[in-house]
Amino acid sequence: MEAFQRGLPSPEPCAVAERQHLLVCDAKAAARGLRAGMPVTAALALAPGLRLRERDAAAETEALLGIAAWAMQCTPNVALAFPDLVLLEVSGSLKLFGGLVKIEVRLRQGLAAMGYGARLAAAPTPRAASWFARAGGQRLIADAALLERELSALPLSVLESKDEETLSSIGIRSIGELLALPRDGLARRFGQRLLDTLDQALGRLPDPRGFCVLPEKFYAAIELPAEATQAEALLFAAKRLLAQLEGFLAARAAGTRQVLFSLTHRAAPATRIELGMVTACREATHFALLLRERLPQTALPVPVRAIGLEVQAIEPLAHSNQNLFADALREEGNWPRLIERLRARLGAAAVHGMGLRADHRPERASVPAEPGAKQLALDFEPRPFWLLERPQGLEENASVPCRDGPLKLLAGPERIESGWWDGADVARDYFIARAANEALLWVYRERSPAGAWYLHGIFS
Amino acid sequence: MPGLAAELDQHPGIWRGSELARSACPGIATGFAALDAELPGGGWPRGALTEILPQHEGIGELRILGPALAGLAAQGKFIAWIAPPYLPYAPALAAAGIDLARVIIVKTSRDADSLWAAEQALRSAACGGVLVWPRDIRFPQLRRLQLAAEDGRCLAVLFRPTQAAREPSPAVLRIALATAAGGLALSIFKRRGAPLFRPILLPALSAPLIAAGSSLSPGSNAHVVDSPASAAVAVGSIPARLALA
């Protein structure tokens, strides 16, 4: 069920069925008397509003692969055991993360953030760990000497073997009782395979696993339990995806500059929301912050059914070091985060830096640039602090330009004649003028027979 | 008991009504000695709102901030210009010594966005200076900005029209700018400490500009890129009848 909805609360009872029988049902469905194994027809009679889903093996595999990729932030050695197990070899990571308990807490919190419930167990061998997990989890065994005693208490069902029934019919109920049987007899009755399995669990035989390889790109999707338009509901679901992305990026020691959300609708093309970053980033909280600013700006035509998260390009990003005096120092260098936040709400074009261009034409000498980028150093004649986006025509009275009274020309002319090659040619004589209110203005006169006056800048 | 009075003057916990407030955190030097002397902390306050109320634009409201902004940019701090009324012009900023790589211009279409952006910039440690030109701002919003400014440690300047001087404001420093004979008059009508009744006079902006600019004779200061067509335009076509002064 979590493969579909990631534990998002659904307004109506919900269940997953396989071959016309219920497989699992949520708390709301259980409250109506629905039970696993119940025929679908009976379930629908009890709960007419039931949201019924057919079991989807592909979605489950997808979810398992997603968890595996996410878990690689703890260790590079992650193996899958279908249909429901992810195995992590953490012996090499114990020191880095500060012990088995800390890794367990980290994994548990991470899985919860992604919306998955899981049973976690640790043991010296992969098979023993999977048995503990199947039997209910919550068991962290680091000491190989304790392994046999702990394994003995497990029920036979963890074997998932066809011999389970035969074994229980001869009175064997636990692994311990199975281990107590004479080995040669056991091999004769049930085959060498069962013995090997037991030996692998105890670490007497090697149990090699093929480790997963991380995919290059990231894609994950989540289906909303109910169609939503509210930003908060969408954000809640998106956070689950972002938590998964953070793990994926951490596993690759990478960050990304571009995150793409696609919001799927029932009867309209998907809405795409693209978050651009100034520098590579991997923190789920930061992505969520940007999305929170962006969502209200995005017009959603119809309610959203599902959210997809895609990252095409990643780039290397070192793990941040734990610094004793971290916060103040790090924040100072964190100006890209500020710019990303501003851009998420105001649009990319509304937030920019400034650069100089070697061009005599005043309107071309100052150009928008990327903040933080090194700029040319150029020398200019005295220039005003403010430039009008578009020169403003001035009235002329007795050959004197006027703006609330005649202007007094103080300095000039500075002749600027340039740009005939690109079609935006100017031929102007610039003056510094004083207005009646003492403001200093930068005005020019067109070098044409008409010779109109314009205001182009204000000294300040 | 002259000894006691002198001792009291030395005591850090005693403040006389006639003095400027002692500021725990030194201000950012303005670059104008006359102004520094009248500001608590010896400069523009950090982590508090400053209001500048120019009589009209172009009076010199940027010039009085120039040295402080240049100093902040040189320390690697960013300076956010939020909703400026015109384009800040890069050659002039560069000439004032402000590192252009440290400038962030934020254009907004609504006051709500300007205030939001200002709050973000104030709370971020990346910014050393935040300059805001709100169109219309009320007391609760000013209060919000003041709180955001207290969060950070940057120079926060709000540019408002002179009429706003009549309204109450939580800003710790409020300066009205007006032209006066031969220069710019700064009236500090609110500061931490006793109010200042006589305005501070700063020299006029025009003198250095005119000295740096050229004389009023055509052709002496020209940036002409010769073109096939320019031969057709007579050089020195400025009419001699212009009233020049």
Average pLDDT taken over every residue of chain A: 80
Query: Do A224 and A324 belong together in one domain?
Result: yes
What lies within 8 Å, CB to CB, of A293 at 6+ separation is A341, A344, A345
Phi and psi at residue B35, to the nearest 5°: -75, -45
Interchain pair B100, A353: CB under 8 A: yes
Which B residues 143-202 touch A at CB under 8 Å?
A: 179
**Looking at residues A141-147, what average pLDDT do you find?**
77
Q: What ipTM describes this predicted complex?
A: 0.79
Neighbours of B241 (CB within 10 A): 9
- The residue among A346, A381, A410 that closes a domain is A346
Query: Residue B51 has what pLDDT?
Result: 92
> Is A66 contained in some domain?
no
Of A334, A367, A420, the CB nearest to B227: A420
Q: Are residues A390 and A434 in the same domain?
A: yes
pLDDT of residue B242: 38
B223 assigned to some structural domain: no
Structural domain includes residue B40: yes
Smallest CA–CA distance, residue B37 to chain A, in Å, is: 23
B44 vs A379, residue with greater confidence = B44
Can you name the residues that pair with A85 across neighbouring β-strands? Answer: A81
Q: Please report, as a single letter, which amino acid is at residue A184.
A: D
Q: Is the pLDDT of residue A459 over 50?
A: yes
Q: Identify all chain B residues contacting A388, using CB atoms and an 8 Å cutoff.
A: 86-87
User: Residue A395: inside a domain, yes or no?
Assistant: yes
**How far off is chain B from A300, nearest CA to CA, in Å?**
21
Residue B104 to chain A, least CA–CA distance (Å): 5
Q: Select from A416, A419, A440 the Cβ nearest to the Cβ of B205.
A: A440
- CB distance A366–B241 less than 8 Å? no
| Whole-number pLDDT of residue B80 | 92
What average pLDDT score do residues A43-70 get?
78
Cα separation, B62 vs B59, in Å, equals 8
CATH code for the domain of B145:
3.40.50.300
Instruction: Give the pLDDT confidence score for residue B158 in this predicted structure.
Output: 92
Q: Domain range holding A25?
A: 2-55
Same domain for A292 and A189, yes or no, is: no
Contact present, A336 and A322 (Cβ < 8 Å): no
**B31 pLDDT higher than 80:** yes
Which residue out of B133, B223, B227, B241 would a mutagenesis test of the A interface target, given it has the greatest number of A Cβ atoms within 10 Å? B223
pLDDT digits (tens, 9 = 90+) for A12-38: 777 777 777 777 777 777 777 777 777
Tens digits of residue pLDDT in B51-101: 999 888 888 888 888 889 999 888 888 999 999 989 899 888 888 888 888
Residue of chain B whose alpha carbon sits nearest to that of A419: B225
The 10s digit of each residue's pLDDT in B138-188 is 888 899 889 888 887 889 999 999 888 888 888 888 998 888 776 788 888
Rounded distance between C-alpha atoms, residue A443 and residue A460, angstroms: 14
Q: Which token pair is B176? A: 């009205």
Domain count, chain B: 1
Domain assignment of residue A62, yes or no = no
Q: How far apart are CA A114 and CA A110, in angstroms?
A: 6
Q: For residue A101, is it within any domain?
A: yes
Residues of A in contact with B125 (CB under 8 A): 328, 331-332, 334
**Cα A5 to Cα A60: distance, rounded to the nearest angstrom:** 11
The kind and range of the H/E element at A275 are: strand A271-281
Share of chain A above pLDDT 90, in %: 0
Residues A20 and A86 both lie in one domain: no
User: What is the model's pLDDT at position B22?
Assistant: 57
pLDDT band at B132 (very low <50, low <70, confident <90, very high): very high
Domain containing A10 — which CATH number? 3.40.1170.60
How do strand B78-82 and strand A440-446 relate by DSSP bridges?
Answer: unpaired
Range of the domain at B92: 29-194
What pLDDT digit, counting tens, does each position of A232-279 carry?
888 888 888 888 888 888 888 888 888 888 888 888 888 888 888 777
pLDDT at position A140 is 79
pLDDT at B230: 43
Of B61, B222, B245, the CB nearest to A408: B245
Q: What is the pLDDT of residue B40?
A: 82
Tell me, yes or no, whether A193 and A303 share the same domain.
no
Cα B186 from Cα B179, distance rounded (Å): 9
CA nearest to B79 within chain A = A353
Q: Do B100 and A355 touch (CB under 8 A)?
A: yes
Contact B227/A365, CB-based, under 8 Å?
Answer: no
Are residues A438 and A405 part of one domain? yes
Q: Which among A345, A365, A440 has the least Cβ separation from residue B116? A: A345
Same domain, A324 and A405: no
pLDDT band at residue B237 under the 50/70/90 scheme? very low
Query: Could you tell me if A336 and A286 are in contact, meaning their C-beta atoms sit under 8 angstroms apart?
Result: no
If one counts every other C-beta atom within 10 angstroms of the C-beta of residue A272, the result is 12
Q: State the nearest Cα–Cα gap between A379 and chain B, in angstroms.
A: 8
Residue A417 structure tokens: 């004649």
- With a cut of 90, say whether residue B133 has pLDDT above it: yes
B210 within domain boundaries: no
**B185-224 confidence digits (pLDDT tens):** 888 888 887 777 788 888 776 666 666 655 555 445 666 6
CA of B75: which chain A residue's CA is closest?
A332
Lowest mean pLDDT among A143-147, A283-287, A351-355: A143-147
- Do A287 and A395 lie in one domain? The reply is no
**A377-394 pLDDT per residue, tens:** 777 778 888 998 888 888
**Pairwise pLDDT comparison (A188 vs A24), residue with the higher score:** A188
Alpha carbon distances (Å) from A210 to A92, A112, A126, A175, B58:
17, 27, 12, 26, 72
Q: Does B239 fall in a domain?
A: no
Could you tell me what percent of chain B has a pLDDT over 90?
12
Residues 8 to 67 of B: which have CB under 8 A from any A CB?
Answer: 55-63
* Min Cα separation B1/chain A (Å): 49
Counted domains in chain A? 4
Query: Is residue A276 within 8 Å of A321, Cβ to Cβ?
Result: no
Contacts 24+ apart (CB under 8 A), A446-451: A447/A415, A447/A417, A447/B233, A447/B237, A448/B233, A451/B237, A451/B239
Instruction: Provide the token pair at A195.
Output: 């013995």
What are the chain B neighbours of A371 within 8 Å (beta carbons)? 78, 101-104
B107 and chain A in contact, CB less than 8 A: yes
Interface contact B206-A410, CB threshold 8 A: yes
**What distance in Å separates residue B192's CA from the closest CA in chain A?**
27
Domain limit, last residue, from A315, A346, A377: A346
* Residues A11, A44 within the same domain: yes
Q: Is B85 on the interface with A (CB under 8 A)?
A: yes
Please give the interface size between A and B, counted as residue pairs whose CB atoms are below 8 Å apart: 247
The answer to whether residues A235 and A175 belong to one domain is no
- How far are the Cα atoms of A372, A460, B237 from residue A383, in angstroms, in the given order? 23, 10, 23
Q: Does B216 contact A at CB distance below 8 Å?
A: yes
Instruction: Give per-residue burial for A343-375: e unless 16+ CB within 10 Å, then b.
Output: bbbbeeebbbbbbbeebbbbbebbeebebbeeb
Of all helices (H) and strands (E), which one includes residue B65? none
Which candidate from B87, B90, B96 shows the least CB-CB separation from A389?
A: B87
The model's pLDDT over A114-132, given as tens digits with 9 standing for 90+, comes to: 878 778 888 888 888 888 8
Q: How far is A277 from chain B (nearest CA, A)?
A: 16
To the nearest whole Å, the CA of B218 is away from the closest chain A CA by: 6
Instruction: Say whether B209 and A374 touch across the interface (CB within 8 A).
Output: no
Closest in A334, A354, A459 to B126, CB measured: A334
pLDDT at B229: 47
**How large is the C-alpha radius of gyration of chain B?**
22
Mark yes or no for CB contact A366/B116 under 8 Å. Answer: no
Q: Does B10 map to a domain?
A: no
Domain assignment of residue A68, yes or no: no
CA distance B69 to A381: 21
For chain B, what is the mean pLDDT? 78
With residue A119 as reference, give the H or E element that holds it. none
Name the CA radius of gyration of chain A, rounded: 34
What are A437's two structure tokens? 């209110």
- pLDDT tens for A341-356 read 888 888 888 898 888 8
Task: Please give, rounded to a whole number of angstroms, the shortest distance from the CA of B138 to a CA of chain A.
Answer: 22
Residues A316 and A393 in one domain: no
